[in-house]
Structure 1
């Protein structure tokens, strides 16, 4: 008699961002959900806000839900009030999430943002439902001032850190070290390369670039900690002979709360007389094409980057990356595969850009080494390591 194969375990991924932007955590969730072994795990995804990854996941056969109705109600409830009133709100949140876990028949809950996000609603809901709950720390949320919430963050079954930097910060924030597993993010390198379909010459032409322009691309949403101002100052510091043929494009959305920062960038660029050379493109869907057309790609976060997926993506296309040395990028960029600088010193970035602009052979050598280095961050490595953590907590 043939024994029936066990059904795949249903894993619920929850992305709780609701600031209107779509960043690296979404891409990381998408890549992991799509590349899990479906014979063992059945991914289910829930977003707090509608976004472009919803149809993409559904097209890939991943069951995807929106939590917008519940969140709309919760956001209308005044967070002020007495302790009993706040406790009642928390209880209602736990009940609604426990109901979702039951309705979706979830075997394991995987939160996608931070131990501080979901520790007081999704985590207790999972304990009530009777399923393990783990969380990926996509960033450094800092140490919670509330002792009760710090206690809650230590109750996750596992905490995945996307870099050694984040693992160190988690320990400093009272997360038990034995719960932490370091798993670098990954990207589907083959698929990412395949998305770059437009000839570089055509992309450059559409951007209004001349054939001999030195094209610098900075992908990423416009936020002060992302360091767009660092690149602005670096371009201003370039020798005039190089600055005259340098064209910079910023590709990313500006969230409403960063409108003041964007206005300050515009003011500084205009003041320097560079409005025709430093241009904001807004949110773009053609990042691979833009990267392929670029001569150099810049990452300039002024706060330690949790990982730096854009760094891996640039390297996967064989492009020279010039990245902030703070946080995750220092774990990605090895000697010869890219250039690092301190974001508090724009002159360092300017010096790297000047060398890349002047020396095509150096650009090519960096690009070749970058492409080889990127193979170590393919999504298959991330998916296999994450599945091993699932096995730890599910006993599989």
Structure 2
């Protein structure tokens, strides 16, 4: 009888173990021994700007860092070979993601947990240990234009109140932090754009002035303002500008959510007397940037930073962007053209100015290339390393100077 009870209890424990195992992947045995002082966490492995920035940080930073994702990494985020990347080996539901993150936080001894998104910041502050400090990388505004009242309340009450430091990616994102939490702000550390500042050296200069080749490079969501570019072209069409003057390439996709907005853009583009090509999501943006003349960025709400602005400058394009948010911090009257945010008339005026003044285009390109250098990845990583070292207070987290940058984790 006793043997039967012991056997039954063993069977129950085995079933419990199997249930627990179904909630998360088994972490590598070597992970527990990793000598890392910070853990950087993101909720998604979709290759958005904030996520791609992590791959650049991993390749350049002198700090020991482990990266954790709550989604399976299907290879679209390519990390240096020696980088420790923790991710589930299959798709997880919301509860399973929380269980996976809790397991990661408990198995690691890092004193600093860095959240790369607001969403994962909520999870981290709920699950982190008492000995672990939390730092939030602020890639988005937390004002009324960016978040609903409910989301703002959650971020302020739950996340910011349990955060040691907030690292803003622009002065604008810093300005959206409520006054009571302004003391948590570090110096601005701009987002990684994947540039060296010398990408323009691969450009073949054009001798012909027209047609001016315009490029829109962003997610196809309404707040990115691609429809505003079409509005501006409609204005120029009424002034008898046509395909001999302008052509437009629109790169990007919705990534998340429905493609209704993209469909609306395509329908409108067919009615314009210009060549408008939709090329979808582009994995390698270098050929696209090198084959166009003007980068048009038209967000209708303040852009937190604008990595694509830096990319455009570095690749030798004239950059036209709204006069608010990050773009207004990156560009000045000598390095780019700023137009009134949300105004198709102001954008049309800027494009007309470029059409009528080849000398202006040349000057903006030259000055833009100089401006791009200060936003290159090699400069940005110094700011992040300094900030993290300051929060950690551990000089021994420095790694060797050389980093192996080939291969994928």
Q: TM-score, normalising length from structure 1? A: 0.79
The 8 Å contact of residues 212 and 246 in structure 2, kept in 1 or not, is answered as yes
Give the aligned partner of residue 366 of structure 1. 364
Aligned match of 1:10: 37
Tell me: higher relative CO, structure 1 or 2? Use CA pairs within 8 A at least 6 residues apart.
Answer: 2
RMSD: 2.8
List per-residue Cα deviations over 1:21-62 (Å, max 9, x = no partner): 52211222222222111xxx2222223334576562044x32
State the distance in 2 between where 1:55 and 1:257 align: 20
Task: State the Cα deviation string for residues 367-394 of structure 1 (Å, max 9, x = none).
Answer: 0000111111122332222222222322
1:100 is aligned, of 98, 104, 119, to 104
Q: Which residue of 1 aligns with 2:65?
A: 43
Residues 335 and 55 of structure 1, relative CA distance in 2, 3 Å threshold: closer
* CA distance in structure 2 between the partners assigned to 1:63 and 1:386 by the alignment: 19
Superposed CA offset, 1:275-323 (max 9, x none): xx11110011231221122111111111110000100111112221001
Pick the structure with greater CA Rg: 2
Structure 2 residue aligned with 1:34 = 59
- Aligned: 1:185 with 2:210: no
Does the 8 A contact of 1:132 with 1:157 survive in 2? yes
Q: Measure, in 2, the Cα distance between the counterparts of 1:394 and 1:161.
A: 18
Distance 1:188 1:222, change over 3 A: closer
Q: Is residue 296–residue 356 contact of structure 1 (8 Å, CA) maintained in 2?
A: no
Match of 1:241 in 2: 241
Q: Tell me if structure 2 keeps the 8 A contact 1:9–1:107.
A: no
**Which residue number corresponds to residue 164 of structure 1?**
171
Any idea what the Cα deviations from partners look like across 1:170-222, whole Å, max 9, x if unmatched? 126x5x1111122222434338728x868688xxxxxxxx9942110111111
Tell me the distance in 2 between the aligned counterparts of 1:211 and 1:374: 24
Preserved CA contact (<8 Å) 1:235 1:243: no
- Does the CA contact (< 8 Å) of 2:41 and 2:120 recur in 1? no
Does the 8 A contact of 1:186 with 1:382 survive in 2?
yes
Q: Secondary structure at the match of 1:31?
A: helix
Unaligned runs of 5+ in 1: 1-6, 77-91, 202-209
Distance 1:149 1:341 in 2: 32
**TM-score, normalising length from structure 2?**
0.77
Instruction: Answer yes or no: is the 8 Å Cα contact 1:230–1:343 preserved in 2.
Output: no
User: Alignment partner for residue 85 of structure 2, among 64, 67, 88?
Assistant: 64
Instruction: Answer yes or no: is the 8 Å Cα contact 1:192–1:288 preserved in 2.
Output: no
- Give the superposition deviation at 1:148: 6.4
Residue 351 of structure 1: how far off its partner (Å): 1.6
Counterpart-to-counterpart distance in 1, 2:67 and 2:304: 22
Task: Give, in whole Å, the separation in 1 of the partners of 2:197 and 2:335.
Answer: 21
1:100-249 equivalent positions in 2, closer than 5 A: 100-114=104-118, 117-128=119-130, 130-141=131-142, 142=147, 145=150, 150-153=156-159, 154-171=161-178, 176-181=181-186, 182-190=188-196, 193=199, 212-238=210-236, 239-249=239-249
